[in-house]
Amino acid sequence: MKMNIDCVICFQRQALRALGETADTKLKERVLRSVMSLLLNEDWTKTPPKLAAKVYKLVNSISGLKDPYKELKRTSNELVLQMYNRLKKECLESSDPILYALKLAVAGNIMDIGAADSFDIEKTIEKVMTAEFAFDSSQKLKNNLKMAKSILYFADNSGEVVFDKLLIELILSKFPNIKKITFVVKAGPIINDATMEDIDQISLRSFSQVVFKTIGNELYPSSPSRDSEEVKQWIYGHDIIISKGQGNYEELNIYKDLNKVYYLLMAKCPVIARDLGIKTQSFVIYS
């Protein structure tokens, strides 16, 4: 998905937000001027995540802040881990445990610092359980799970990955035919996106069927990018693809004609909402 004019303003907001609560106005001005200069000279037909990586690389180099959301990511994971047993119990007691877990996984997409300054996960969970989804391919996904042997799962944010863990646990318990889940996170810190540090913190390695891969960008070129031939091979090599969140949608919607790709997200951004033809704040399980 190509960048929209609205993204230019959003990148500037994100750059300032990444500086935290610093009172150093000169630093803020230097960062903002540098980001504006970068955007002036970049190709605006690139995908938003590609330009976002360049922006954050620039912010990191000027500010020296390599992982400004490190503590927030850790506390986000802890917050949802404290809810895990209760939510698992609710799933198992529901009439449709997989659908319940899917909705929780979508609710978790609210935990996106790139899109908002703050969020209320409990209120979002309440809302998602009664909301009419803008797109709901959950039944198709459940049918595909009955026949699949492998899943490629592109994670999004810290905190949100705990909901992903719960969905994976439910899938593995209900569909013993699933022999392998490849769980994909970012190669290193960018915004509050999930990395291997999150995997270790939430103990996702406890499932023997789950293996891990990382994707890179301008910041982390040693890992393959989402538009690389290697990632394309991952996609064609798995029976089901689950793409979480807006950034993954922006990069992976080139595969939306594949019958096995499912996009799980909350459309927090008007650019994403317009691309999908839905209202902002809508919930989506789209294939």
Q: For 121-155, what is each residue's pLDDT tens digit?
A: 999 999 999 999 999 999 999 999 999 999 999 99
Kindly report, residue by residue over 174-209, the tens digit of the pLDDT: 999 999 999 999 999 999 999 999 999 999 999 999
Q: How far apart are CA 113 and CA 173, in angstroms?
A: 32
Task: Return the exposure string of 230-256: e unless at least 16 CB atoms fall within 10 Å of the residue's CB, then b.
Answer: ebeebbeebbbbbbbbbbbbbbbbebe
Handedness of CA 47, 50, 56, 58 (dihedral sign): negative
In whole angstroms, give the CA distance from residue 40 to residue 25.
22
5: which 2 tokens? Answer: 């004019």
Question: What is residue 285's three-state secondary structure?
Answer: strand
Whole-structure pTM value? 0.94
Assess if CATH 3.40.50.2000 describes domain 70-286: no
Cα-based angle 43, 246, 45 (whole degrees, multiple of 5): 15
User: Could you tell me the two tokens for 141?
Assistant: 């996904």
pLDDT tens track for 212-227: 999 998 889 999 999 9
CA distance 240 to 183: 12
